[in-house]
Structure 1
Amino acid sequence: MLKAYKYRIYPTKEQEESFFQHFGACRFVYNWALENKIKSYEQNDKSVSRFTLNKMITELKEEHTWLKDVNSQSLQGATLNLETAFTKFFREKKGFPNFKSKKNPVQSFSVPQFYEVDFDNNKVKLPKIGWIKTKLHRKFKGIEKTATLSRTPTGKYYISILVDDEQETPVKSLFNEKVTVGIDIGIKDFAILSNGKKIDNPKYLKTSIQRLHVLQRRMSRKQKGSKNRAKARNAVSKLHEKISNQRNDFQHKLSSKLIGENQALALETLNVSGMLKNHCLALHIADASWSSFVTKLEYKAEWFGKTILRIGQFEPSTKICNVCGYHNKNLTLADREWQCPDCKTNHDRDVNAAINIKKSALNKQNLIGI
């Protein structure tokens, strides 16, 4: 299986300059490759392959000699990233690749090979840069693949190493109704389980929103290009980073707990991008970051041989009585509890939805009652 290990690195000033040189060169090659692909398609109705672009980089170095100071494997990694972006565009409809800007607060470049990791001395060696002080807080075993070095908006540097641990993906565990849990994600409560348990939504962004507004107003009053504006921008970035770290920590702990306690998890497919167009709820939906949580559940389920079951986004899980199947068409978002007119069962809106999600997912697997 492939797993990524992320470590913080502490470069010297000279190494930082080399990082920025790599960031700029890889960004330049990416934009150059994207321009070539667009022109080739417009003129010949054909796209230039990544391998052709890699051969053209040699000629590009003669024109721009400063590219020779950068690791050649990193430059080829830029064309690979572009190829991946086009694949997502055609297969997953993720949006046409955009040109990269040096104003982007997050910069990165990849090192496909020829790097070394020294756990004993807490150092990582990168080609053209040398040994860099690194906080190697955990060891890994396996074949080292691509390493990606990145810089955050707050000026911190990280290296993410992709490792093949040479282990086969675990066989999916058998599951039935007793070891399956339905999960309804929401805003008031972050997650509601089919067993009736509710996980509070910490709402980290809402907690820090007033402080964030203060820092943003301070930044807007500073003169553009000044050092004070840079300091104010860094303060805003630090708060955003803190919120992101809090959210990720919460989601990692919750997802690990749910994966460890159940053999299968039933989820509802949500159109998050469409829901974000609701201006009344967009802030709360973005704060919850449902897509990120589902992604964590999916890859952790693959690691531990668990199963993720999905139901369609148009199934009315909230409005159907989980006892008799009555469809309450008049239920609104304000109704948190309701009574079924047929069987007189009192329902908690979210718990009822979680139970229906579980039943619907198991029904598709022909596992109801097993």
Structure 2
Amino acid sequence: MRHKRYPPILLTILIGLIGITISIYMYINWDKQELSVSNPIISKVELDSQPQNLKNIIYQTEKHVVQIEAQNEYSTLTGSGFLYNNKGDIITNAHVIEDAEVIYVRTANARIYPAAVIGVGQDTDIAVVRVPQLAGENGLPVETKNETEIGDEVIALGSPHGFQNTVTLGIISGTERNFSVDGYNYSNAFQISAQITQGNSGGPLLNRETGKVIGINSVGTKDGTIGFSIPVIDVFSQIEKWSNEAQNDQLHFASTEDMINTLDTEQFKEDAKYVVEYFLDSILIRDYVNAYALLGDSMQASTSYSNFREGYIQIVDLEYENISSEPIENKQINTTAEVSIKKKLPDEEELVEENKTYHFTIGYENDQLKIINITYDE
């Protein structure tokens, strides 16, 4: 009778083998399949961990980077700086504004404001100037943790040789560099492959991945192949001290009108060209608020912001070339640009392309450069 035990044993072994086979199959397929998670918090963490779009980082940063013009009886020195808080305080280098009797800043949207020094280093090459008209605006985010390493990708912004909002890319090629230049001691400086030339000084150095300011671009080698940037974390406490102690009623500011009256024709033409480029770039990046702010009073009076936005919202791509400026009457400039636009119209499946020659009338209103009128030729 003992032989009757074998069928149950064989059945048990068979069931076990089937179970093992199914388990192996499920494991293999589980390993190949993507795990779908709908939790919005996890999705946000995934998105935030991705490097930001380079074009967006540059455009958003440029809004807070200024060109600094420090004038005295003998010369005008041009440098850079960046807004870092909501008090209108701008970080720059001490050597940019030393010996200056009058200081002006040019913002990314072509506005000119007088500035006053609220703090300047005697041994360290840092300074802070204040522009009350910029109070209330958010400054650039500053990295207050010491996490920068050799090999990190960086973005340097500034105004080399007067070319406002110029961008150079590179990496951190060295750290803890110590040296002296023109009476200033640089300690623990970043060595960077991004070029730093005349006019770049005082501009921000950004971490490519986070978009935060990690340094203040300060000096470069004569051949332009190596630059050095002061780690903002090393000087941030001193910058904050100057900012907190400064009182606007104790500061002296020059007149904006004085600077405008001393502009030569060539500078006026370059400024007008810059306004047009910034306007077109704002349309391309779909920043209609900044573009609309460049319009003069008469244009804004005849066109509401919502109507202005509706006129450009269908544009998906825009290119421009052959920008030229010529003076006209009433201290105004006519700036011409050949513009190619691609639109996505509601009833069209394919993009519609338009090529036009635009004419921008540029002039000053309330001491600020504005677009007075826009026309175009088909």
Normalising TM by the smaller chain, what interval?
A: under 0.3
Structure in which a larger fraction of residues adopt strand: 2
Structure in which a larger fraction of residues adopt helix: 1
Task: Tell me which structure has the larger Cα radius of gyration.
Answer: 2
Task: State the structure with bigger RCO (CA 8 A, min sep 6), 1 or 2.
Answer: 1
The normalised TM-score by structure 2 is 0.22
